[in-house]
Structure 1
Amino acid sequence: MREDLTFTSGGVECAAWWYPAAGATTPAPCVVMAHGFSLTREDGLASYAEALQAAGAHVLVFDHRYLGDSGGAPRQRFRAGEQREDWRNAVAHVRSRDDVDAARIALWGFSFSGGHVATLLADGIDVAAALLLCPFSDGVPRVLASPPKTVAWLLPRALADMAGRHVTVPVTGQPGERAAMNLPGEADGFAATVRPDSRWRNEISPGLFATVAAFRPVARASRIGVPTWVGRCADDVSADGKAIGKLADRAPRAELHDYPGDHFAPFHGELPTRIAADQVAFLRRTILA
């Protein structure tokens, strides 16, 4: 069971699903959830939301502005600061609800959204716990792993986007193709993860890539004071595994969970069930206690 709703962020209506907590008769804990770089709520988040809902938590799953079912123009625009504002407004929305226990809110982020959540935690956002699945924790390894030809092609487009010209590039492509994410397996991972009814588009504004090396949540992880669940996949080439490990080591109350597979494995086969069970167990020790 879920409901459609919207909340306002930066003058834009962000689309969301609301999963009411199973069996809740008093204000219940709430998990706020969003997908990673360019993906939408349609792309594999429902099974996680349903598992958390069944465990007794409300869940809000939203699309960032300019993406998916959310409003805003130009479409497919990516601005990290604006996305973090969407997170803050999502939290404000759930905190305003009478059926939510405002003292027991957790954040759930995958990939770049995991990096957003880590950044928000280091900035002191008022929540009780967090779950970071394959979080993008350090932009430096990504820059070093990117083919020089891709960097040379992408950088002028990123600078044009940052200068105010709306430019888009493919999100992903096969190795050697012109795309923001073209490391081995990334295009296949997106293709397997995007659902038939998704509004995901293989198109994104590239301004982020002019400064991605400066996006380093790992550098401030020691400031993360809440209990934090961190999931890492062994063959992930999109989010650096060493950086994820460092983030978990530095965050005083973090716990690291290792899984097989690549960056997109958490959305395929039996692994989502295993990961969701581990996340529910973590929440039962924290906000569901």
Structure 2
Amino acid sequence: MKVLALAVLVVAGLAGPAFGADPAHRPVTIWSEGSRLSGDLWLPPELEQGERAPAILLTHGWGGVKAHLNRAYAPQMAAEGFVVLTFDYRGWGESDGRIVAVSRDRLPEPGPDGTMTLAVREVREVVDPVAQIEDITNAIAYLAYDPSVDPERIGIWGSSYSGGHVITMAALDDRISAVVSQVGQQGGEWPEEAGPLAAERAAQRARGEVGMVPPAEDAAPGLRGLPEWSRMVRYKPLALAGFVDVPTLIIDAADEELFDRRKNGEALHAALKARGVETAYEVFPGRHYDIYSNQLGPARAAAIAWFKKHL
């Protein structure tokens, strides 16, 4: 599995500045496909009662958690006049995981009230792009109906693995008005070994030979969680570029080491530009993770400027 780790992206546990003192924030609960997601809603310090402001949904990569976004991005963006929502994916951080039956047998007959008793297991720390897109979709629904939000001015920001998620969302969800994709893997390439493994895992899952939690041997060295390779290899946000028609900023690292940026961010920019979509491609010095350290301030400022222009 060592070679597969090169294609894996993560922003969990990265350092950032402390919570800002000025923007107000409160915990919120988002329901996603029956599971409780833990979120935080940040409000601009100057927002008046009854006033609606543009909003940004922040989405993290791999198995990152909102604690990082709450330090390094949310308070700074809220201070610039945006309502900002962060959340943990199902089975990560403070969010509940999906519940699955332990037994592979047929479920028992429900009682008169429609309920049943059975042993269940909570699925945690699985990286599944399909489930993550569902969670993001539900977070957008929550954000769009918040009384502090102008539903016509919602932007989405994603970094690393979710740099592809935001392209998928922009293609499929017309509630999104502007996008920032940062050091995103757009499905432009995978190691040669990934294809056969994905096919094998998909067949095993369909036949009940593996459950909702992938085998431990599928883990990427050095990263938390278990990747759902059967879905990840077939997940290609770049293929949806033809359906994106909102302003999109693409941020890459000059010396990106986890994937070929020419086949990901650069290819995405070219595809959008060819269709006349307003897009910009900014490349910052350094490697993948420098975007969260010495390039954090400049990259964040570029994102804020993009959202100010287009929201």
* Structures share fold, TM-score greater than 0.5: yes
Picking from 116, 119, 123, the partner of 2:172 is 123
Distance, in Å, in 2 between the alignment partners of 1:90 and 1:223 is 21
Distance, in Å, in 1 between the alignment partners of 2:25 and 2:182 is 23
Is 1:247 the counterpart of 2:296? The answer is: no
CA RMSD of aligned residues (A): 2.4
Distance, in Å, in 1 between the alignment partners of 2:288 and 2:143 is 29
Picking from 67, 70, 78, the partner of 2:92 is 67
User: How far 1:81 sits from its partner (Å)?
Assistant: 1.9
What TM-score, normalized by structure 2, do the two folds share? Answer: 0.74
Distance, in Å, in 1 between the alignment partners of 2:281 and 2:177 is 18
Correspondence list, 1:100-249, <5 A: 100-139=149-188, 141-144=189-192, 148=193, 160-161=204-205, 163=208, 164-168=210-214, 180-182=219-221, 187=222, 202-204=224-226, 206-207=227-228, 209-242=229-262, 243-249=264-270
Distance, in Å, in 2 between the alignment partners of 1:44 and 1:161 is 33
Instruction: Output one character per residue of 1:162-186: Cα deviation in whole Å (capped at 9) or x when no partner.
Output: 655144467xxxxxxx66445xxxx
Structure 2 partner of 1:195: none
User: How far 1:160 sits from its partner (Å)?
Assistant: 4.0
User: How far 1:275 sits from its partner (Å)?
Assistant: 0.8
Structure 2 partner of 1:283: 307
Instruction: Output one character per residue of 1:172-218: Cα deviation in whole Å (capped at 9) or x when no partner.
Output: xxxxxx66445xxxx4xx6xxxxxxxxxxx222x32x2343322211
Distance, in Å, in 1 between the alignment partners of 2:215 and 2:86 is 26
Q: Evaluate the alpha carbon distance shift between residue 169 and residue 40 of structure 1 in structure 2; reply closer, same or farther with a 3 A threshold.
A: farther
Distance, in Å, in 2 between the alignment partners of 1:84 and 1:281 is 26
Kindly provide the amino acid, as one letter, of the partner of residue 284 in structure 1.
K
In structure 1, runs of 5+ residues without a counterpart are 171-177, 191-201
Answer yes or no: is the 8 Å Cα contact 1:114–1:133 preserved in 2: yes
User: How far 1:32 sits from its partner (Å)?
Assistant: 0.6
User: How far 1:77 sits from its partner (Å)?
Assistant: 2.6
What TM-score, normalized by structure 1, do the two folds share? Answer: 0.79
Distance, in Å, in 1 between the alignment partners of 2:125 and 2:205 is 12
User: How far 1:222 sits from its partner (Å)?
Assistant: 2.6
Query: What is the percent sequence identity of the aligned residues?
Result: 24
Structure 1 partner of 2:133: 84
Distance, in Å, in 1 between the alignment partners of 2:156 and 2:197 is 35
Bigger CA radius of gyration = 2
Is 1:265 the counterpart of 2:299? The answer is: no
In structure 2, runs of 5+ residues without a counterpart are 1-23, 98-121
Instruction: Output one character per residue of 1:19-47: Cα deviation in whole Å (capped at 9) or x when no partner.
Output: 11231222001101121111111235522
Answer yes or no: is the 8 Å Cα contact 1:114–1:132 preserved in 2: yes
Structure 2 partner of 1:48: 73
Distance, in Å, in 2 between the alignment partners of 1:159 and 1:27 is 48
SS of 1:250's partner is: helix
**Any runs of at least 4 consecutive aligned residues in structure 1 with deviations exceeding 6 A, and if so which?**
150-155
Kindly provide the amino acid, as one letter, of the partner of residue 190 in structure 2.
R
User: How far 1:9 sits from its partner (Å)?
Assistant: 0.7
Structure 2 partner of 1:199: none
